[in-house]
Amino acid sequence: MPTIAKVWIEEDCITCDACQDILPEVFTVTDDTSFIAAAVREDGNFDQNTGRSAIKKEFRAEYSDIIEEAADACPVEIIKFEYESAEAGDEPAEAEAPVEAAPVAAAVTPSADDGVLAGVLAGDRALTILFGSQTGNATGLAEKTAKLSAAYGLEASVVDMDEFDLANLPSLKRLLIITSTWGEGEMPDNAEALWQATCGAKPALGGVHLSVCAIGDSSYDEYCKAGIDWNDKLSALGATIVQEIQLCDVDFDEPWAQWVAQALPRIACVDDSGTFQEDMVEAMIAYGSGDDDDGGVEGDFTPASISMPEISLTLKVFRYDPDRGETGHDTIACALPGHATIQDALSAVQNEVDGSLSFRSSSHAGGNPLTGVMANGRVVLADTVRICDLIDDGDLLSVEPLPGHEVLKDLIVANDSWENERSSSKPWMEADPRQGERLASGAPIGVMASSEATKLHQMGDVSSFPLLNAMSDTYGIDGAYSGPAVALQRWIRAQDSRSGTAQTNQIYALLQGNGGVWSEADIGAISRHGANGEKVANELYAARARLLSEFKFSGKSGRMVKWYARSVKLSGNVNETTLYRQVLGPLGLGSNIMNGVSLRMMLGFTRNGGPMMRGFQGMLMPPAGIGKIPDMFNSKVHNHHEVVAMFNELDRRF
Amino acid sequence: MNWTGDSEVFAMVKYSYYPGNVARQASQEVEDTIQPLCKSLGIDLIEMVGYNSDGGDVIRQGNPELQLALNARNFALAQNNGHDIITACASSQGVMHDALSTFKNDPIALASANRVLEKITGMSLDASEVQTHHLLHVLVDEIGLDKVEAAVVNPLDLDIACYYGPSMQKEGACGGDDVWNPTYMEQLITALGGRPVEFSSKTRSVGNPSLLTLGDSVMKMTAKVLSDAKGAGANVIVSACTLSHSNLDSYQGKAGRVANKDTAIPVVNLTEIIAFAFGHYTDRFAQLRTRALVIGS
């Protein structure tokens, strides 16, 4: 029997993990696709192997059968392989046409070839998979179950128990429940409301066919209690159990796989009329595995998605016509599935209302960092964020272009300014020459520990750099400011131990200079933008702390930090007069007098109705203490020595 | 029992009061007004004797550990008082919320701050024992707008733009209000007999942390908020942030000239407008109404 010489992965992998579960030595499922392991490949690369590198000879005999098995199990048939050529001995036959894996039944539309199963596969094939999940494990299993269900001609909907309407329960023909148990036998948070409602309403479930997969921890007394409760309750209400409940311990993958292999073909034998055709189960198992005599049916694979109830909304979209120089908003009343993304909503408008609407899009969630928009005041990626995460039923969804950017048309903004800034900041590494660390060309290279590489990677691991810039309320106001995205990239490069001293010094000068990190007027405003914003804000604060040390508190910003801290140390509270005097200096104070700021402060009492002078300092040391100009000196707080001691303990620079 | 505004017939709600960095300096009007308004609503402000500056996210730039330790001392004072902290400054609420979140989520940071705190003050912070609140969220979430409305003596009868600023508009820091499209202040203004005016810049930063260090950009940020509010039809701006009030009020003229925008509009602190509606400082309220008529929209 010939052995397999080459194996590769084609497009449209659904990352169901089936191949990895069967042969992890060869297949590694990533976020997007499946890779062929480097250890078994002649070229040692780790990718889909679209270049069709050969499998190392020592592995071929051992893995050939299992690769075939994995290809058979692949629901979307994208595992391809090639046998060794008999004439070429051990060498693979390059000219030989690829042998495709045996097709797997994956259709949702039955045909006349379905033979004995034709009756079962006809009509309504809806399957509802309810999940109760506290940590996401049950959610993941529900999604996997939905993907596998297509092999049995089922059309699955994965539904969060929190989002399920109890009124629909009696009308379901096919129902699978996958739920974890929380704490001491309690329902997960998202299942509690439905559970209570079910117990209260006691709906008649005579037409429902059910199987339950319960996840738990056998070290607890109430092992898998939530799943058992659902099984018993729905059974008592009249539901037909087509497959006994499966209890899964903390290592749930294997028992879940056993359950799903039984439960899916059995529930697939519930026909359009709602009758469980038990005598068809064996044929259905064969059909689902692709071994049936009926032969497979061609068709599209239906990927699983978590369905959310439909939301009625008013969509308000910014429009800009550059040819006419006109701006405005389109307002459209519509209803969309809650799980639809902003991009889905915009696409619907483009397809059904106005084909001229322009926006950036991508083929899959998170696929394009340039799809940023501002939705209800929040900067988000349109291809990622779901409508149900932004609004409730009946709400307004306002979609505007990313703030701080030049608008080219409708929701499309220019990114060239930030790209130019990034390019001019020379973010690439410039290492110092080091002995023994050079490329063959003679160019110097640096090295770093993997822990440092990980840390640097994490610092820059943000979903979208244009989105970062839009988080800043300063970006776009100050034309000289390079923005938080470039500042972050410069800061990361400066922390890279491979960077040479000259480059590090140059980066610090850029960060310290005009348009650098001190040009951000309010880092706190960035930090409120979720995990990405908080991460960047922390890095910008860290960059400033480093620059204060490097440049010894020079410049207005340095003096601001130094004297703020010193005035707090001196009295326990900040003294604004000290800050004005030390940061602005005589010229700055003079400028404030000339441009009316000081006058407005002195006349503050005329605007807020307070007394002209609030204490003796106003008389002894004017203008301090007059109007809204603060006192020259603060009185010390109670136990002021404690504040001084804290400064002395933690930072004697102040 | 009907709410009459007479605090003596109700159990007092107690909070440890943190005035922030400027309420007892340049913004004395906040201190003037928060005390009587809280008394009207039965909120007992307990002094945190010996409180220090929260660092204003300025000290953090030089030494994050130091700013955390300063906040830990304030939190420990409130913990000893036995009450959560209340402040009328959005910036202070933002700074304190961040520090407290750090302590709750990072046991190493908490242990480090407690090491210093115990050594110097003898106090120790239990981060689960104290919370921080802005006055706005206490009024809406805790006291209730119905009680606020019942305490109104002089309905505002003004078109008011509500400025929140960005500092406290983050998850967990703004009570039950919406982070991105807050409405609590508008609800409060309605309860006080005013007419809230919606405007797009209500959570935008005016760049107060860089007021003294950056020039034109901070003025342009300030001018945008002022002109947006005025353009939306407001004749008064109410600020929930005492620090931002400096930009919006004292720097109003300069901001308008730098940005070449119409920025002339009265700006008052949240505590002032509530106290006015409750009948405190009627002379100041009359003065505000006159200014709104003369220079408002």
What is the pLDDT, as a whole number, of residue B158?
Answer: 97
What is the pLDDT, as a whole number, of residue A113?
Answer: 43
Alpha-carbon distance B203 to nearest alpha carbon in chain A (angstroms) = 9
Query: Which part of chain A has CATH 3.10.20.30?
Result: 310-413
- Largest interatomic CA distance in chain B: 57
Residue B129's identity, in one-letter code, is E
Provide the mean pLDDT of chain A: 85
What is the pLDDT, as a whole number, of residue B263?
Answer: 96
What is the rounded average pLDDT of the residues A119-145? 87
Query: Which part of chain A has CATH 3.30.70.20?
Result: 4-100
What is the rounded average pLDDT of the residues A158-168? 88
Q: Is residue A426 pLDDT above 50, yes or no?
A: yes
Burial zone of A22 (CB within 10 Å; 0-12 exposed, 13-18 middle, 19+ buried): middle
Q: Is residue A446 pLDDT above 70, yes or no?
A: no
- Are B26 and A576 within 8 A, CB to CB? yes
Give the CATH number of domain B7-134; options: 1.20.140.10, 1.20.1050.140, 1.10.357.10, 1.10.260.40.
Answer: 1.20.1050.140
Give the Å distances, CA to CA, from B174 to A391, A446, A639, B129, B160. 18, 47, 32, 19, 21
Cβ contacts of A604 on chain B, cutoff 8 Å = 26, 249-250
- Are B208 and A522 within 8 A, CB to CB? yes
Cβ contacts of A327 on chain B, cutoff 8 Å = none
Show me where the domains of chain B are located: 7-134, 153-295
CA dist., res. B160 & res. B191, Å (int): 13
Q: Is residue A169 pLDDT above 90, yes or no?
A: yes
DSSP state of A91: S
- Are B213 and A583 within 8 A, CB to CB? yes
- Are A650 and B73 within 8 A, CB to CB? no
What is the rounded average pLDDT of the residues A630-638? 90
CATH topology of domain B153-295: Rossmann fold (3.40.50)
Ranges A59-73, A362-376, A396-410, most confident: A396-410
What is the pLDDT, as a whole number, of residue A115?
Answer: 65
Tokens read off for B154: 């002089």
Of A377, A527, A649, the CB nearest to B116: A649
DSSP strand pairing (A246-248 vs A209-215): parallel
Alpha-carbon distance A432 to nearest alpha carbon in chain B (angstroms) = 30
CA dist., res. A13 & res. A29, Å (int): 9
DSSP E strands in chain B: the ranges are 13-17, 43-47, 85-87, 132-134, 159-163, 195-197, 236-239, 267-269
What is the pLDDT, as a whole number, of residue A432?
Answer: 66
Cβ contacts of B220 on chain A, cutoff 8 Å = 477-478
What is the pLDDT, as a whole number, of residue A449?
Answer: 79
What is the pLDDT, as a whole number, of residue A443?
Answer: 66
| B198 touches A at CB < 8 Å | no
What is the pLDDT, as a whole number, of residue A37?
Answer: 87
For the structural domain made of A4-100, what CATH number should be given? 3.30.70.20
What is the pLDDT, as a whole number, of residue A450?
Answer: 82
Give the CATH number of domain A112-289; options: 2.40.50.100, 3.40.50.360, 3.90.1300.10, 3.90.1150.10.
Answer: 3.40.50.360
Tokens read off for A421: 């800034």
- Are B166 and A377 within 8 A, CB to CB? no
pLDDT band at A222 (very low <50, low <70, confident <90, very high): confident
For the structural domain made of A417-550, what CATH number should be given? 1.10.1060.10
Q: Is residue A104 pLDDT above 70, yes or no?
A: no
Provide the mean pLDDT of chain B: 94
| B73 touches A at CB < 8 Å | yes
Say if CB A542 and CB A487 are below 8 A apart. Answer: no
CA dist., res. A28 & res. A186, Å (int): 36
Alpha-carbon distance B225 to nearest alpha carbon in chain A (angstroms) = 11
CA dist., res. A552 & res. A559, Å (int): 9
Say if CB A617 and CB A633 are below 8 A apart. Answer: yes
What is the pLDDT, as a whole number, of residue A92?
Answer: 37
DSSP state of A569: H
Instruction: Report the share of chain B in percent with pLDDT over 90.
Output: 91
Of B50, B53, B169, the CB nearest to A568: B53
Say if CB B162 and CB B202 are below 8 A apart. Answer: yes
List, as ranges, residues 271-290 from B with C-beta within 8 Å of A.
Answer: 272, 281, 283-284, 287-288
CA dist., res. B98 & res. B104, Å (int): 10
List, as ranges, residues 152-181 from B with C-beta within 8 Å of A.
Answer: 166-167, 169-170, 179-181
| B20 touches A at CB < 8 Å | no
Locus of tokens 């776009």: A476
- Measured in whole angstroms, the distance separating CA B23 from the mean position of its chain's CA atoms is 10
CA dist., res. A290 & res. A337, Å (int): 34
Q: Is residue B9 pLDDT above 60, yes or no?
A: no
What is the rounded average pLDDT of the residues A153-171? 89
What residues contact A440, with CB distance under 8 A and at least 6 apart?
none
Of A541, A564, A653, the CB nearest to B56: A564
Cβ contacts of B57 on chain A, cutoff 8 Å = 523-524, 541
What is the signed CA dihedral for B253, B256, B260, B263, rounded to 10 degrees? -120
What is the pLDDT, as a whole number, of residue A41?
Answer: 87
**How many residues are present in chain B?**
297
Q: Where are the alpha helices (DSSP H) in A17-88?
A: 18-22, 57-73
Bridge partners of B17, per DSSP, are B47, B86
- Are B214 and A584 within 8 A, CB to CB? no
Alpha-carbon distance B66 to nearest alpha carbon in chain A (angstroms) = 6
Say if CB A168 and CB A198 are below 8 A apart. Answer: no
Alpha-carbon distance B86 to nearest alpha carbon in chain A (angstroms) = 18
| B46 touches A at CB < 8 Å | no
Which range among A481-495, A576-590, B89-103 shows the weakest confidence by mean pLDDT? A576-590
Report pLDDT digits (tens) over B191-239: 999 999 999 999 999 999 999 999 899 999 999 999 999 999 999 999 9
**Chain A residue with the nearest C-alpha to that of B49:** A638
What is the rounded average pLDDT of the residues A82-96? 49
Cβ contacts of B61 on chain A, cutoff 8 Å = 541, 544-545, 548, 561
What is the rounded average pLDDT of the residues A409-424? 86
Report pLDDT digits (tens) over A262-296: 999 999 999 988 899 988 898 898 888 776 544 44
Say if CB A310 and CB A335 are below 8 A apart. Answer: yes
What is the pLDDT, as a whole number, of residue A84?
Answer: 80
CA dist., res. A291 & res. A481, Å (int): 65
Ranges A79-83, A130-134, A642-646, most confident: A642-646
Which residue, among B213, B225, B260, would best test binding to A if mutated, counting the most A CBs under 10 Å from its CB?
Answer: B213
Locus of tokens 């801290």: A565
Q: Would you list the DSSP string of A455-520?
A: HHHHHT--S-HHHHHHH-SSBTTBTT---HHHHHHHHHHHH-TTS-HHHHHHHHHHHHSTTSGGG-
Query: Which part of chain A has CATH 1.10.1060.10?
Result: 417-550
Assembly ipTM: 0.94
Of A588, A596, A650, the CB nearest to B69: A650
What is the pLDDT, as a whole number, of residue B12?
Answer: 80
Q: Is residue B36 pLDDT above 90, yes or no?
A: yes
What residues contact A643, with CB distance under 8 A and at least 6 apart?
A568, A569, A572, A637, B52, B70, B73
pLDDT band at A90 (very low <50, low <70, confident <90, very high): very low
Alpha-carbon distance A414 to nearest alpha carbon in chain B (angstroms) = 21
Give the Å distances, CA to CA, from B163 to A530, A600, B134, B154, B181. 21, 21, 14, 22, 12
- Are A646 and B70 within 8 A, CB to CB? yes
Q: Is residue A99 pLDDT above 60, yes or no?
A: no
Report pLDDT digits (tens) over A560-580: 999 999 999 999 999 998 999
Of A376, A588, A609, the CB nearest to B180: A376
What is the pLDDT, as a whole number, of residue A89?
Answer: 40
Of A583, A638, A650, the CB nearest to B63: A650
What is the pLDDT, as a whole number, of residue B120?
Answer: 97
Superfamily per CATH, domain A310-413: Beta-grasp domain (3.10.20.30)
Which range among A248-252, A509-513, B159-163 shows the weakest confidence by mean pLDDT? A248-252
Q: Angle at which helices B184-191 and B270-277 pack, to 10 degrees? A: 20
Burial zone of B209 (CB within 10 Å; 0-12 exposed, 13-18 middle, 19+ buried): buried
Burial zone of A96 (CB within 10 Å; 0-12 exposed, 13-18 middle, 19+ buried): middle
What is the pLDDT, as a whole number, of residue A623?
Answer: 86
What is the pLDDT, as a whole number, of residue B283?
Answer: 96
What residues contact A223, with CB distance under 8 A and at least 6 apart?
A181, A216, A217, A247, A249
pLDDT band at A437 (very low <50, low <70, confident <90, very high): low
What is the pLDDT, as a whole number, of residue A431?
Answer: 67
Comparison of pLDDT for A62 and A526, the residue scoring more: A526
- Are A654 and B62 within 8 A, CB to CB? yes
- Are B217 and A573 within 8 A, CB to CB? no
| B207 touches A at CB < 8 Å | yes
pLDDT band at A407 (very low <50, low <70, confident <90, very high): very high
Cβ contacts of A520 on chain B, cutoff 8 Å = 210
Cβ contacts of A478 on chain B, cutoff 8 Å = 214, 216-217, 220
**Chain A residue with the nearest C-alpha to that of B122:** A642
Which range among A438-447, A612-621, B129-138, B256-265 shows the weakest confidence by mean pLDDT? A438-447
Report pLDDT digits (tens) over B92-132: 999 999 999 999 999 999 999 999 999 999 999 999 999 99
- Are B50 and A637 within 8 A, CB to CB? yes
- Are A597 and B203 within 8 A, CB to CB? no
What is the rounded average pLDDT of the residues A431-458? 73
Cβ contacts of A576 on chain B, cutoff 8 Å = 22, 25-26
Laid out side by side, the sheet with A99-100 consists of: A4-9, A79-83, A99-100
